[in-house]
Amino acid sequence: MKGLPATLDELPEIVAPQGLDGEGPYTEIVIPEVFPPGSILVFETQLQGYDASLDEFCVAGSQQAFGDLDLVDLNVILHRSEVEERDATSGVYGAYDVPGHGRLVYCGLEGWMHPLRHIMKYNDLGHSLCDHLRNGSWALDYVHQRLNQYVINLCTFEKILMKHLAKWRASPNLPNQRNGSRNGSKE
């Protein structure tokens, strides 16, 4: 099997006009006039204002944070059902309620993965969780406040989490947090 016959044709450089609309600045990619079916256009993008050290920072300390945790600690961090969490916290915390989406399946970090998997799979940046994260830091505050009450082996984990949250809060793109409580606690 040799594949489909193909040719590689160099096209003149494509000028990508930039504009501004109600949602902010954008760049428009215009397909050339001669572009037969089955053609592929490859282009490169750059993120503006992106801190290149952010990826490395996010994984820094992860071995240390999880190194001393036992299975009970991991259950607290990753899973914990609504009922377990309400029982363990005398009803103070439950599963996080994302406006427009509903309560997460788990109180722990795995609870966030169900909507995040959908967002990543379908590139659904209009998802209610994305909107909620754009509007403020309530979700991150919930994660921190919920874990802060557990004084078991989570001290190292929490310190590293706080370091990561501080960096996120220092981001120039962080929206002003609007008034109101947005967590799984009683209101």
pLDDT digits (tens, 9 = 90+) for 36-69: 787 887 777 777 777 778 778 878 888 887 787 8
pLDDT at 33: 82
Element housing 103 (H / E): strand 102-103
Q: How far is the C-alpha of 66 from the C-alpha of 61, rounded, in Å?
A: 9
Using 50 as the pLDDT threshold, list the residues of the chain that sit under it: 176-183, 185-187
For residue 20, the 8-state DSSP code is E
The answer to whether the beta carbons of residues 185 and 92 sit under 8 Å apart is yes
Query: Residue ranges per domain, the chain?
Result: 54-169
pTM: 0.61
- Residue bearing tokens 């874990």: 147
